[in-house]
Structure 1
Amino acid sequence: MLDLYDDLAHSRIDRRTFTRKAAAFVAAGVGTEALLNALAPNYALAQQVKPDDPRIKTEYVTYKSPQGGGEIRGLLAQPSKGAGAGVEAKLPAVLVIHENRGLNPYIEDVARRLAVAGFVALAPDALTPLGGYPGNDDEGRAMQRKRDGEEMTQDFIAAARWLDKYPRSTGKVGVVGFCFGGGMANTLAVRIPDVIDAAVPYYGRQPDAEDVSKIESPIQIHNAGLDERILAGAAAYEAALEKAGVPFESYVYEGANHGFHNDTTPRYDAEDAKLAWERTIAFFNKHLKTA
């Protein structure tokens, strides 16, 4: 059933096909719509760090993306405490890239978690040119499919460059992404090696093997053991990284589903998500906070 929901979440099937196929799994008296509602994200759960947490400050900002969507909106989160005497301490920065549905509450919470960990975090919304994240994932997925792929890539390239020059940034920039965002994290490592200093793709599409040699930053890869679609390209990616001499770490979480880090869906695996996030923060601390 989770595999079937994954197909729906990634637009490989439509809602009608999901309903038809799900009927084989549904117990008597339980409708497929009720089942779909149970599988859908519950964003009331996406509050590991509350927006008004005194340890951080958050605001929505816009930045220019002339080769992409023109002007993109995103959530900027950073530690609230400065260096004293009215001067804020410079900090490393991390770009947070959402899944295939826009800047939802889960991804905003990830940005706040990074701020608590001592980073300036920017989470852009690729749906900005279409009016922004609509408040639910079904509409968000449909909207994101309408955007041109290269233009969205340019939006995230512009975001990374904005973070690189942000006044409180040290110029050390990492990127973390999930699903679509994981693939985009790999893409940015290829496309802007002059900006990206560390990349952490979660169950993301791998870049073409011939492009891997362009990567200059260390990579930390997180994949789910049950995610056959992404795992199909994992070995070739790791072999290309090794051949190119790119430092990398790779983790596969056995028994976990694609999307296991997202704590708002039934695919969430609390133990694996906690371990993966601890590894992510340690990786960014190592590669972004050192000289």
Structure 2
Amino acid sequence: MDQRIINLYDRYTHSQIGRKEFMKQLALLTGGTAAAMTVLPMLQNNYAAAAPFRSDDITTENVTYAGETGDVKAVLAKPKGKSGIGSVVVIHENRGLNPHIVDVTGRVAAEGFIALGVDALSPFGGTPADEDKGRELIGQLDMGKTVQNYLKGLEYLRTIEGGNGKVGCVGFCWGGAMAGRLAVSDPNLQASVTYYGGQPNVADVPRIKASLMLHYAGLDERINAGIPAYEEALKANGIDYHLYVYEGVNHAFNNDTSPTRYDAEAAKLAWKRTVDFFKSKLA
């Protein structure tokens, strides 16, 4: 697909332009309104088309824990028959706890960790089925209170049955930025993994005690613009970090429900690196 169309969709999904302007520009790029309507489903996440993750080796349940804003909803996945293992908070993109992130939570558990997929939209009753509505609600969250909700999720995992008290986090897009915020905010965090997420304020980097893994997409100019200053600050402060840029792939390359942006090869490599990283830091 024309990279200009993918870049336009990225601007739309990250609230840089409204839907009316997005559709207008999409029609110009595709040659008309009818063509734009044909292309649109190819850009949107398609949860039905992606095979849902299944494993007989894990258990999954919906849970709540006490947060800053009241009860926080989450999906909890555990490997069967294992104890004394590390735990991971899974942080969703900017549309809420959708089926893809629920699948990712299960995949983390299948790798031998306790995994908690937190729903940041819990203050609004949880993630709605309408993705555009979810994206709108994300923009209405109180960021300070939302960070606290995630910090309480980390605390929830530190004392969970079967865990060893060591906790990490992994976030995607909006969640990637949140993973950075948690690294800044929690001095007891062992490991933080960011997939194509915005970087923390460089002034906050000295507060980071966790080890970091950072995955970026080579074509993601919007997010990548912040890499140089961030990496300079990480080096200056002696932070343990691993940074990877996957050339020729787009923002959201790990999302297998996004047909025009998913890249199987990059996703597989980034996932292996992530799992190996967690195994080294949370054992």
Question: Does structure 1 retain, via aligned residues, the 8 Å contact 2:89–2:168?
Answer: yes
Superposed CA RMSD: 1.3
Q: Residue 229 of structure 2 aligns with which residue?
A: 236
Aligned to 1:14: 18
1:35 aligned partner: 39
Shift of 1:149: 1.4
Alpha-carbon distance, 1:134 to partner? 1.0
Aligned counterpart in structure 1 of residue 213 of structure 2, from 206, 213, 220:
220
Whether the 8 Å contact between 1:46 and 1:105 is mirrored in structure 2 is no
Q: Deviations over 1:70-122 (max 9, x none)?
A: 1100000010224xxxxxx2210000000111100110111000011000000
Deviation at 1:287, TM superposition (A): 0.9
Verify: 1:108 aligned to 2:102, yes or no. yes
**C-alpha distance in 1, partners of 2:108/2:94?**
21
- The one-letter amino acid paired with 2:202 is A
Could you tell me whether the CA contact under 8 Å between 1:97 and 1:184 is conserved in 2?
Answer: yes
Superposition pairs of residues 261-280 of structure 1, within 5 angstroms: 261-265=254-258, 266-280=260-274
Decide whether the 8 Å contact of 2:27 with 2:33 is kept in 1. no
Partner of 2:29: 25
* Structure 2, gaps ≥5 residues long: none
Match of 1:259?
252
1:226 alignment partner, SS class:
coil
Counterpart for residue 171 of structure 2: 177
Which one of the candidate residues 59, 62, 65 is aligned to 2:61? 59
Q: CA deviation at 1:46?
A: 4.2
- Which residue of structure 2 aligns with residue 86 of structure 1? none
- TM-score normalised according to structure 2 size: 0.95
Aligned positions, number: 278
1:198 corresponds to which letter in structure 2? A
Query: Contact conserved, 1:221 with 1:250, CA < 8 A, in 2?
Result: yes
Kept after mapping to 2: 8 A contact 1:46/1:109: no
SS at match of 2:170: strand
Is 1:149 paired with 2:143?
Answer: yes
Distance in 1 between residues matched to 2:116 and 2:52, nearest whole Å: 17
What is the distance in 1 between the residues matched to 2:79 and 2:168? 17
Query: Structure 1 residue 31: deviation in Å?
Result: 3.4
Deviation of 1:229 after TM superposition, in Å, equals 1.3
**Counterpart of 2:100 in 1: which secondary structure?**
helix
Match of 1:166 in 2: 160
Report runs of 4+ in structure 1 exceeding 6 Å deviation: none
Q: For 1:159 and 1:114, how far apart are their aligned partners in 2? A: 16
Q: SS state of the match for residue 121, structure 1?
A: strand
Query: Which blocks of at least 5 consecutive residues in structure 1 are unaligned?
Result: 83-88
Where in structure 2 are the equivalents of 1:48-87 lying within 5 Å? Answer: 49-50=53-54, 53-65=55-67, 67=68, 69-82=69-82
Quote the Cα distance in structure 1 between the aligned partners of 2:202 and 2:44. 35
Residue identity (%): 45
Alpha-carbon deviations, 1:239-284, whole Å to 9, x = none? 1111111111100011111111111112111110111001000110
> Alpha-carbon deviation of 1:225?
0.5
Q: Does 1:137 find its partner at 2:139?
A: no
